[in-house]
Amino acid sequence: MTAELIDGRSCAARLREQVQADVRELTACGARPGLATVLAGDSYPARAYERRVRDLAESLGCRYSCVALPGDAAEADVVAAVGGLCADPRVSGVLVLRPLPPQVSEAAVYRALDPLKDIEAVHPVNAGLLALERPRFVPSTPASVFHLLDTYLSRDGRDPGEVYRRSRVVVVGRSANVGKPAVSLAMARGATVVSCDVHSARAGLLREHTTAADILVVAAGVPGLLRGVDVKPGVIAVDVGINAVHDEMTGAVRLVGDLDHDSVARRAAAITPVPGGVGPVTYTWLLRNTVAAARLALATDPVRRAKGLPGPELDVRELVSA
């Protein structure tokens, strides 16, 4: 068996067209979307992510700004930077780039976010709404996972809802921004869901679960964590991992996933590549959430309402759903 590649780049291109049209509409209403990021430290993945987000935001006509802080920044300084961006009316959405320095508590920084500008749904209120299947925003990476799966299944002539309801979805990784939301999204689709992490591996249970998966979502941040022997034939495998590794021969940095792509692809029915799979959709979905946040701000603007100025035409629910 040779797996079909699930092409994230073409999927992202179609999504970008929709987002760009929405940006134009909002800008015409006087509400140009604006994305701001907070970067603390000199993490290679965080800086690479920031560059890609910046380029995409500017290409779509969104405002963009980044507050860069040193790696030894105090937690209070990071919290203050987040608070300042949340108070800026030109900023629709705020993204805190991970990883944060060890002296900075993610929980404290996330609590400082305005829930209406928390486009990755990491504030406790937004995370709770997502768990209750009433999301204000769906985090960009898990949303992209299921957008790719929905697209692949539909193009294959299958009803995604029916497939999920008779499938075992195994999610490897329990991070607050990817693994846990992915579990919530899979449960919302009626799937039988298994959540695994490092504790499953230490208990010797990881392969037991991954070899039973009909749909496997791997977001552990460990290069080549799973090989072909760790999956069952015919699995649909989604690799969320983006790991920078150094080539010992050339010294160059290349990106690899959490799956050993070649061996898994020989057993899977379909697989996402790294790069070119989940990543391109994730960047675009982040801007989609920024547009949704701009629409929410426009709809709740008391000055605009008092003047009887027009609000957005599109249904906000369409923008925050996965």
- Considering the domain architecture, whether residues 144 and 241 belong to the same structural domain is answered as yes
Continuous segment of H or E residues that includes residue 243: strand 243-246
Identify which of 203, 146, 148, 206 has the alpha carbon closest to the alpha carbon of residue 172. Answer: 206
- Considering the domain architecture, whether residues 287 and 259 belong to the same structural domain is answered as no
- Considering the domain architecture, whether residues 269 and 295 belong to the same structural domain is answered as no
Backbone angles phi, psi at 164, to 5 degrees: -60, -40
- Tokens 């799979």 found at: 277
Q: What is the CATH number of the domain that holds 92?
A: 3.40.50.10860
Determine the pLDDT at residue 217: 98
- Considering the domain architecture, whether residues 171 and 94 belong to the same structural domain is answered as no
Contacts 24+ apart (CB under 8 A), 250-255: 253/44
Domain that holds residue 42: 31-116+279-304
CA pseudo-torsion sign 168, 170, 174, 180? negative
- Considering the domain architecture, whether residues 90 and 144 belong to the same structural domain is answered as no
β-partners of residue 34 are 63
For residue 230, give the DSSP letter: G
- Tokens 């965080």 found at: 46
Question: What is the number of alpha carbons within 13 Å of residue 313 lying toward its C-beta?
Answer: 9
Determine the pLDDT at residue 312: 45
Q: How many other C-beta atoms are found inside a 10 Å radius of the C-beta of residue 249?
A: 6
- In a domain, residue 111? The reply is yes
| Cβ-contact 16, 244 below 8 angstroms | no
- In a domain, residue 1? The reply is no
Q: What is the CATH number of the domain that holds 236?
A: 3.40.50.720
- Considering the domain architecture, whether residues 269 and 145 belong to the same structural domain is answered as yes
- Tokens 């999610």 found at: 171
Instruction: Give, for all 322 residues of the chain, the pLDDT tens digit.
Output: 689 999 999 999 999 999 999 999 999 988 999 999 999 999 888 998 999 999 999 999 999 999 999 999 999 999 999 999 999 999 999 999 999 999 999 999 999 999 999 999 999 999 999 999 999 999 999 999 999 999 999 999 999 999 999 999 999 999 989 999 999 999 999 999 999 999 999 999 999 999 999 999 999 999 999 999 999 999 999 999 988 888 777 878 888 999 999 999 999 999 999 999 999 999 999 999 999 999 999 887 765 544 444 444 434 334 444 5
Determine the pLDDT at residue 316: 37
Determine the pLDDT at residue 213: 98
Q: Dihedral (C-alpha) 200, 262, 279, 115: value to the nearest 10 degrees?
A: -10
- Considering the domain architecture, whether residues 266 and 159 belong to the same structural domain is answered as yes
Determine the pLDDT at residue 303: 59
For residue 277, give the DSSP letter: S
- Considering the domain architecture, whether residues 290 and 243 belong to the same structural domain is answered as no
- Considering the domain architecture, whether residues 159 and 219 belong to the same structural domain is answered as yes
Strands (E), the chain: 4-5, 34-40, 63-69, 93-96, 168-172, 192-196, 215-218, 236-239, 243-246, 253-256, 270-271
Tell me the CA distances in angstroms from 271 to 6, 170, 235, 260, one per residue in order: 6, 14, 8, 11
**CB-neighbour burial class of residue 142 (10 A; exposed 0-12, middle 13-18, buried 19+):** buried
Determine the pLDDT at residue 315: 41
- In a domain, residue 13? The reply is no
**What is the distance in angstroms between the CA of the first residue and the CA of the last residue of the chain?**
30
Domain count, the chain: 2
- Considering the domain architecture, whether residues 105 and 201 belong to the same structural domain is answered as no
